[in-house]
Amino acid sequence: MSDLKTDICVIGGGSGGLSVAAGAVQMGARVVLVEGHKMGGDCLNYGCVPSKALLARAKAVKARGHAAPATAQDFQDAMAHVQSTIATIEPHDSIERFEGLGVQVIQGYARFTAADRIDVDSTTIRARRFVIATGSSPLVPPIPGLDSVPFMTNETLFAQPDCPGHLLIIGAGPIGLEMAQAHRRLGARVTVIEGATALARDDPDAAALVVAQLRNEGVEIVENAHVEQVSGRAGAIEVQVKGGTIFAGTHLLVAVGRKPNLDRLDLDAAGIAHDRHGLKLGANLRTTNRRVFAIGDVAGHGQFTHLAGYHAGLVIRSCMFGLPVKARHDHIPRVTYTDPELAQIGLTEAQARQKYGGQLSVQRIGYDQIDRAQADGRTDGFIKLMVARGRPVGVTLAGAQAGELIAPFALAMANNLKMGAIAGTVLPYPTLAEIGKRAAGAYFSPKLFDNPMIKRIVRMVQRWLP
C-alpha cells in the first residue's frame, strides 16, 4: 500500500475536475487527480462532443434536400466523424498532458476511508482538500422487462456501426429530441415516447416550435404515454404504454435523465451528508465535511459542462487563496441543440410572472422582424425577454443559432447589467444578433414614445432651440 500526501485531490477527470486540476497545479499547488474511467468524462466521450458532431453531420445530410436521401454510408460517415472529433480533442484532456502540467494522475476508483483520506486500489491519498467531480450517469428507470432487452443510453449510442431501422426513444428531453432528429435525418424511422410533455422544463411556446419541426421532419413524438413494459430482442423491440398501445422498433434508446455518480465513494466514512437526490452542499460548494467540495453534475444545480467550469473557478479561488465564494445559478444558460435550437437563461415567462407579477415586462420579437433572418430564409423563431426592475431576469430564444444569440444576455445577467447596456450596444448589420437588441429596444419604446412627459419636454426644448 503506497501513501501519498497532497494539497488537493480531485476525484473525477471530467471537464470540471480537469479545470480544477489544471488551474491549481499551475498556481503552485500539489495536485492528485483520480479517474476510474476515461479522461474527459461524459462530455468528451459520450455527451456534448459526440452528440454535436453527430448533429452537424445529420444537418449536412438534411441540407442536401430530397434529391439525395440519407444512405447507410451517410450514417457510417457520421459516426466516423464523431470518433474523429473525439480523437482530435482527446489530447487536451489526456493523462500525458496533465502529467506534463505537474498533476499526479491515479487511474482507479476512489473510496473515502476517513475525513481526510481516500483509497484507490493499493494507494492511500491524504489531502488538505478534496474536490468531488465524478459527474453523472444515465438514469435507467425500473421498467418491467427492460433488464432483459438490449437498449442503448448516451454511453453506448455512439458505438452503433449501422443506422437503426426504427429507433424507439423513451424520453423527450434535450438528449432524446437531439438524437431523434439526428437519427431521423440520417435515415432512421424514429418514435419518441414521453410520459409527460416534450421539453417540459422549457417555455411551452419554444418547446412547441421545436416539436413541430421534428414532427414535420417525420419524427413521431408521443406525449403523455407512460411506459409500462418493454419486451423483445435485438432487432425486434416492443414498448407498451398505459392503455395498451404498443410501439415496435428495431433499437431502443433510454433518455429519461441522469443520476449523480456517488455510489462508489463511501461518503459516510468521510462524514459527507447525502440522500437519494445527491450531496448536501452549502452555497460555497462545500459538503458537510469542510475539507470536501463538490462541483458539476454532483453539485445538483444542472448537468452542463459550462456549469462545471464555473464551479471549478469558484473552488480554485477558495482552495488556492482561502477566499469566500458563493455560487449562484440564475445566470447559467442552457441550450437544446435541435434545429431550431432552444436556449434559455434565467426565468421562463411563467416563472417570471409568478415571481415578479406586475413588475414584469415581457417583450417578444419574432425572427421574421430581423432582416438577416429574412435573407437567410430562417424566419421561424422568436425571443422572449423578461425584464424586472430594469434588468433582464430571463430570456428564451427559439430559432436558428439560439445558442449563440443567448451569449450577450449571459454576459448581462452574470454582471448584473441594466437593459440600457444591451440597448446601447452597436451590432453589425445584418446579423441575427440584432434580435436581442430589438427586444431591448421594445422594452424602452413605451417609456420614450408613449410617455406624455417626454412629449412635453421635447415640445419645450424645441421652442427654446434657435
> pLDDT tens per residue, the chain (466 residues)?
689 999 999 999 999 999 999 999 999 999 999 999 999 999 999 999 999 999 999 999 999 877 678 999 999 999 999 999 999 999 999 999 999 999 999 999 999 999 999 999 999 999 999 999 999 999 999 999 999 999 999 999 999 999 999 999 999 999 999 999 999 999 999 999 999 999 999 999 999 999 999 999 999 999 999 999 999 999 999 999 999 999 999 999 999 999 999 999 999 999 999 987 789 999 999 999 999 999 999 998 999 999 999 999 999 999 999 999 999 999 999 999 999 999 999 999 999 999 999 999 999 999 999 999 999 999 999 999 999 999 999 999 999 999 999 999 999 999 999 999 999 999 999 999 999 999 999 998 777 666 777 777 777 888 788 7
If asked whether residues 178 and 315 sit together in one domain, one would say: no
* CA torsion, ordered 83, 339, 63, 254, to nearest 10 deg: 50
If asked whether residues 242 and 122 sit together in one domain, one would say: no
Question: Regarding beta strands 110-114 and 104-107, do their DSSP bridges make them parallel or antiparallel, or are they unpaired?
Answer: unpaired
If asked whether residues 285 and 315 sit together in one domain, one would say: yes
How many Å apart are CA 417 and CA 420, to the nearest integer? 8
How many Å apart are CA 45 and CA 86, to the nearest integer? 7
If asked whether residues 129 and 151 sit together in one domain, one would say: no
Maximum CA pair distance of the chain? Answer: 91
367 to each of 17, 218, 376, how far by Cα in Å?
Answer: 39, 24, 11
If asked whether residues 350 and 408 sit together in one domain, one would say: yes
Task: Please write the tens of the pLDDT for every residue from 187-239.
Answer: 999 999 999 999 999 999 999 999 999 999 999 999 999 999 999 999 999 99
If asked whether residues 209 and 309 sit together in one domain, one would say: no
Residue 190's nearest CA partner among 180, 175, 198, 182 is 180
Element (H, E) at 42: helix 41-45
Long-range contacts for 67-72 (Cβ within 8 Å, ≥24 apart)? 69/187, 70/163, 70/185, 70/186, 70/187, 71/187, 72/162, 72/163, 72/187
Task: Please write the tens of the pLDDT for every residue from 81-118.
Answer: 999 999 999 999 999 999 999 999 999 999 999 999 99
Mapped onto helix, strand or coil, the DSSP state of residue 234 is: coil
C-alpha cell at 378: 430562417
Is 44 within the bounds of a domain?
Answer: no
Cis omega (within 30 of 0) on the bond before 50? no
Element (H, E) at 454: helix 452-464
- Structural domain total, the chain: 3
If asked whether residues 134 and 273 sit together in one domain, one would say: yes
Residue 109: give the domain boundaries.
2-39+94-138+259-321
Residue 210's nearest CA partner among 168, 174, 186 is 174
If asked whether residues 35 and 134 sit together in one domain, one would say: yes
C-alpha cell at 463: 421652442
If asked whether residues 12 and 103 sit together in one domain, one would say: yes
Question: Would you call 463 exposed, middle or buried from its count of C-beta atoms within 10 A (0-12, 13-18, 19+)?
Answer: exposed
Q: What is the CATH number of the domain that holds 316?
A: 3.50.50.60
* Cα-to-chain-centroid distance, residue 98: 25
Is 55 within the bounds of a domain?
Answer: no
Asked if 399 contacts 433 with a C-beta cutoff of 8 angstroms, the reply is no
Task: Name, in order, each residue with C-beta under 8 angstroms of 190's C-beta and a sequence gap of 6 or more.
Answer: 166, 167, 169, 180, 183, 184, 218, 219, 220
How many Å apart are CA 308 and CA 287, to the nearest integer? 16
Question: How many CB atoms lie under 10 A from the CB of residue 421?
Answer: 16
Amino acid at 11: I
If asked whether residues 240 and 165 sit together in one domain, one would say: yes
Note the pTM of the prediction, 2 decimals: 0.94
If asked whether residues 374 and 428 sit together in one domain, one would say: yes
If asked whether residues 410 and 429 sit together in one domain, one would say: yes
Task: Extract the runs of DSSP E, i.e. beta strands, from 227-333.
Answer: 227-233, 236-241, 246-249, 251-254, 258-260, 274-275, 278-279, 292-294
